[in-house]
Amino acid sequence: MQSSDRLDLTFAALADPTRRAILARLSGGAASVGELAEPFDISLPAVTKHLKVLQRAGLISQGREAQWRPCRLEARPMREAVEWMESYRRHWEQRFDRLDEYLRETTKTSRRPPRKKK
């Protein structure tokens, strides 16, 4: 899978409060589907559906143990997503810092001249 497709799946998987809560719960350790479903007021099939989305994104994996198939977090997709965000965040936060500085400097003088038409 392309890194861009992986990011699509990761971010789409994170765009849901139940799925984020499941990931938060799993960050404390592996858990069965039943344990994961417990705090939510939704059906087990609904939880299973959310788990499938997380699994497709590679954010969790499920064990093959017959009785207790524990779900576990997988760190890699999250790491890639944070790296994508961080690379730009650093860039634009620097820009905002510079902009702040610029605005402080120029507030008392004059407004920016309008952009020239090409």
Which residues form the interface with a copy of itself (CB under 8 A)? 4, 7-12, 14-17, 20, 23-24, 26-29, 65, 67-68, 73, 75, 78-79, 81-82, 84-86, 88-89, 91-93, 95-96, 114-115, 117
CA–CA separation, 59 and 73 (whole Å): 6
CA–CA separation, 64 and 66 (whole Å): 6
- Quote the least distance from Cβ 23 to a copy of itself, whole Å: 6
Q: Are 19 and 53 in contact (CB under 8 A)?
A: yes
CA–CA separation, 73 and 116 (whole Å): 53
- Quote the least distance from Cβ 84 to a copy of itself, whole Å: 7
- Quote the least distance from Cβ 24 to a copy of itself, whole Å: 6
- Quote the least distance from Cβ 93 to a copy of itself, whole Å: 6
CA–CA separation, 64 and 5 (whole Å): 27
47/81 with CB nearer a copy of itself = 81
